[in-house]
Chain A
Amino acid sequence: MTITEKEQGLIDSFSIYDDWMDKYEYIIELGKDLPLISEDQKTDENIIKGCQSTVWLAAEKREDKIIFTADADAIIAKGIIAILIEVMSNESPDTIINAKLDFLKEIGLQEHLSPTRSNGLVAMVKQMKMYALALKMK
C-alpha cells in the first residue's frame, strides 16, 4: 500500500463517525494496535519533547524502510501516535520526510495540528521526520 492509500483508508474508516465520542473511541481503539516500543527503549532520549503526556518513539531501518515503534502514558496520545505510525511506518525515508499528512484535516484531527497546541501531534510528526532524516544518512 502506498502512503496515499493508507491515508485514504483512515479517511474512510473515520468517515463513519460524525459524533466526536465515536471518533475518540475509535482513536482509543487504534491505540491498542500500536506497535509497542520495547521496554529497554523507553529512555529519556526517546521521549518526544513538547507533549503533555509522555510519548516514547523509536525508529529503525529495515531494507531501506523505516519502522517505528512507540508507546504513551495517555491513551488518546497513544491513539494519535498509532495513527501516524500506521501511515508513516514501513515507508522510505524520503516518503516520510516529504509526507504532507493532509488526511489529518479530513479525519477531523485538525484541531491537534496547530503548532501552539501542547498535545504534541506536531512534535510527533517532527520527531518522525527527524528519525527519517537521520536514518537516511546511515
Chain B
Amino acid sequence: MTLDISAIRKEFPILKTSIGKYPLIYFDNGATAQKPQAVIDCINQYYQAENANIHRGVHHLSQLATEKYEAARGVIKSYINAAHDYEVIFTKGTTDGINLVAQSFGKLLQPGDEILISQMEHHSNIVPWQMIAEERGLQLRYIPINERGELDLTTIDELINNNTKIVAITHISNALGTINPIEEIIEKSHKVGAKVLIDAAQSLQHTTVDVQKIDCDFLVFSGHKIFGPTGVGILYGKEDVLNQMPPYQGGGDMIKTVTLEKTTYNNLPHKFEAGTPNIVGGIGLGKAIEWLSQFDLEAIAQYEQELLDYATEKLLKIEGLKIFGTSAKKCATISFLIDNTHPYDVGTLLNQQGIAVRTGHHCTQPIMDFYKIPGTIRASFSFYNTKEEIDLFIGALNKAVMMLK
C-alpha cells in the first residue's frame, strides 16, 4: 500500500499554520506529534456528549464513558499485541510509567542488586533509577555508547550478570535516532533472570512492536508522540510481574475494600490506576492508534527512511556540518551541529523562517558529555513531512549559516 502524503497532511489542521509569512514546517516530531482531525473530533465529542466518571456510575453516561475507555485499552492491547487487556496500564506518559516501575518493582530489590541502563537514555530513564538505587542501596550501571551513537555491546556479558535484576533501555534514542538491538538485550537479560523495560517513547509512531514476540517484561510510551493527546501514556507489563509488584499510588479505583485499618487491593490493571484517570486522554489515545493502524506501518517506515536519507544527504553538503548519531539503523531523527555556529542561534533563525526544530541537550546530557558538546540541533520527521519541506529547511539553514558566519 502506498501512502497518499498530501491527503494525510490534510488531516492535520495545524499543518496549515503560517509563522509570519512562512508556512509552518514542523520538524519537532520527536518532542511531540501533531494531531489528526479524527483525534481532535474524538476529544470534542467526549466533552460534548459523553463526559462522565468511569468505573463507578450505574447511569448511562458513566457506562458509556467506561465502555469507551476500556475499548481504548483494547485497541492499545491489540496494537502492541499484549496477551491481555489488563496488562495495559494507563499512565500520564513515558516518564510516569518508568517512575511506576522504578518505585514499585524497585521495592522488590535488595542492596547490591544491579540495575542496567545505557549512556543514551533520556533523563526520564535515568533519574527514576538513580532515585530508587540511592533509596535501596542498588547498583546503577550503564551500557556505554560508541562514536556512531550505538550501544557498545563489547562488555555486555559482564554488564548483564547474576546480580542484574532489571535492564531499562530505550528502543530508539530521542537525541540520536539510533534503533537499538532490544531483542538481543532482552534475550541476554532473561538468561540471568533479569526483567527488561523498553522505553518505546520514540518508536511506536515509526514502527510496530509486538511485546510478546520481543518478550519484554515492560514497555512504556507516551500518547502525545503517537498522534494522541498529551498527559496520557501506557505501561505494558507482563501479568505475573505486575502481580508481584506492590501498588505505586493509593487512592480510589485501585482498592478492593478499605477499612480504616486495612485495604485490600484491586486486580490488574486497576491496582496501578489510582484516582480518576485522564479519561479523554485514554479515549483519544485509542482513537490515535486506531487512526494510525489504518496505514501500512511498513510503508510509513519506508517513507520515513526516504526522508531520513534525503535530508542526511542534503545536510552533509553544508560545509562544516556534523551529524551526531550515524548508526546504520536509525529512525528519521537527525542531530547535528555546524562549525562555528551555536545551536541556539541556528534554531532562532530557523524559527524566523517558520521551521520548528529542537535545540539543546534533548534531556540527554550524558550523550552530550560523551561527544563533549553543549547540545545539538535536532530535526525529527513524521510521515506527514515531505521532501519539499526538507528542501525549504535546507534553504533556511543555509541562510541562517550565512548570517552567522
Is A46 located at the chain interface by the 8 A CB criterion?
Answer: no
Q: Which residue of B lies closest to A28 (CB)?
A: B403
Is A133 located at the chain interface by the 8 A CB criterion?
Answer: no
Residues in B lying within 8 Å of A, measured CB to CB: 20, 342-345, 347-349, 352, 359-360, 374-375, 399, 403-404
Is A75 located at the chain interface by the 8 A CB criterion?
Answer: yes
- Please name 16 pairs of A and B residues whose Cβ atoms are closer than 8 Å in the assembled complex, sorted by A: A21-B399, A21-B403, A51-B344, A52-B359, A52-B360, A53-B342, A73-B342, A74-B344, A74-B345, A75-B345, A75-B404, A76-B348, A77-B342, A77-B344, A119-B344, A119-B348
Contact: A24 with B344, CB < 8 Å? Answer: no
Q: Of the candidates A21, A24, A75, which one forms a contact with B342 in the assembled complex, judged by CB atoms under 8 Å apart?
A: A75
Q: Which residue of B lies closest to A79 (CB)?
A: B345
Instruction: Specify which chain A residues have a CB less than 8 angstroms from the CB of B348 in the assembled complex.
Output: 24, 76, 119
B-facing residues in A115-135 (Cβ within 8 Å) = 118-119
Q: Please measure, in the bound complex, the distance between the C-alpha atom of A73 and the C-alpha atom of B343, giving whole angstroms.
A: 10
Instruction: Specify which chain A residues have a CB less than 8 angstroms from the CB of B403 in the assembled complex.
Output: 21, 24-25, 28
B-facing residues in A13-35 (Cβ within 8 Å) = 20-21, 24-25, 28
Is A69 located at the chain interface by the 8 A CB criterion?
Answer: no
Instruction: Specify which chain A residues have a CB less than 8 angstroms from the CB of B352 in the assembled complex.
Output: 20-21, 24
Q: Which residue of A lies closest to B352 (CB)?
A: A20
Q: Of the candidates B20, B345, B375, which one forms a contact with A76 in the assembled complex, judged by CB atoms under 8 Å apart?
A: B345
Q: Which of B348, B374, B375, B399 has the most CB of A within 10 A?
A: B348
Is A54 located at the chain interface by the 8 A CB criterion?
Answer: yes
Instruction: Specify which chain A residues have a CB less than 8 angstroms from the CB of B359 in the assembled complex.
Output: 52
B-facing residues in A88-130 (Cβ within 8 Å) = 118-119
Q: Please measure, in the bound complex, the distance between the C-alpha atom of A118 and the C-alpha atom of B349, giving whole angstroms.
A: 15
Interface of B is mostly: helix
Residues in A lying within 8 Å of B, measured CB to CB: 20-21, 24-25, 28, 51-54, 73-77, 118-119
Q: Please measure, in the bound complex, the distance between the C-alpha atom of A21 and the C-alpha atom of B349, giving whole angstroms.
A: 8
Instruction: Specify which chain A residues have a CB less than 8 angstroms from the CB of B374 in the assembled complex.
Output: 54, 73
Q: Of the candidates A20, A73, A74, which one forms a contact with B20 in the assembled complex, judged by CB atoms under 8 Å apart?
A: A20
Kindly list 12 other residue pairs between chains A and B, CB separation below 8 angstroms, not including A21-B352, A74-B344, A118-B360.
A20-B20, A21-B403, A24-B349, A51-B344, A52-B343, A52-B359, A52-B375, A73-B342, A74-B342, A74-B345, A119-B344, A119-B348
Q: Which residue of B lies closest to A52 (CB)?
A: B344
Q: Which residue of B lies closest to A73 (CB)?
A: B342
Instruction: Specify which chain B residues have a CB less than 8 angstroms from the CB of A77 in the assembled complex.
Output: 342, 344-345
Instruction: Specify which chain A residues have a CB less than 8 angstroms from the CB of B404 in the assembled complex.
Output: 28, 75
Instruction: Specify which chain B residues have a CB less than 8 angstroms from the CB of A118 in the assembled complex.
Output: 360
Q: Which residue of B lies closest to A27 (CB)?
A: B348
Q: Please measure, in the bound complex, the distance between the C-alpha atom of A55 and the C-alpha atom of B203, giving whole angstroms.
A: 36
Q: Please measure, in the bound complex, the distance between the C-alpha atom of A51 and the C-alpha atom of B342, giving whole angstroms.
A: 13
Q: Which residue of B lies closest to A53 (CB)?
A: B344
Instruction: Specify which chain B residues have a CB less than 8 angstroms from the CB of A54 in the assembled complex.
Output: 374
Q: Please measure, in the bound complex, the distance between the C-alpha atom of A8 and the C-alpha atom of B392, giving whole angstroms.
A: 37
Q: Which residue of A lies closest to B361 (CB)?
A: A52
B123 to chain A, nearest CB (A): 16
Instruction: Specify which chain B residues have a CB less than 8 angstroms from the CB of A52 in the assembled complex.
Output: 343-344, 347, 359-360, 375
Instruction: Specify which chain A residues have a CB less than 8 angstroms from the CB of B342 in the assembled complex.
Output: 53, 73-75, 77
A98 to chain B, nearest CB (A): 29
Q: Please measure, in the bound complex, the distance between the C-alpha atom of A133 and the C-alpha atom of B178, giving whole angstroms.
A: 49
B48 to chain A, nearest CB (A): 30
Q: Please measure, in the bound complex, the distance between the C-alpha atom of A119 and the C-alpha atom of B359, giving whole angstroms.
A: 10
Instruction: Specify which chain A residues have a CB less than 8 angstroms from the CB of B399 in the assembled complex.
Output: 21
B31 to chain A, nearest CB (A): 12
Q: Please measure, in the bound complex, the distance between the C-alpha atom of A92 and the C-alpha atom of B320, giving whole angstroms.
A: 45
A42 to chain B, nearest CB (A): 15
Instruction: Specify which chain B residues have a CB less than 8 angstroms from the CB of A76 in the assembled complex.
Output: 344-345, 348-349
Q: Please measure, in the bound complex, the distance between the C-alpha atom of A117 and the C-alpha atom of B9, giving whole angstroms.
A: 28
Q: Please measure, in the bound complex, the distance between the C-alpha atom of A24 and the C-alpha atom of B353, giving whole angstroms.
A: 12
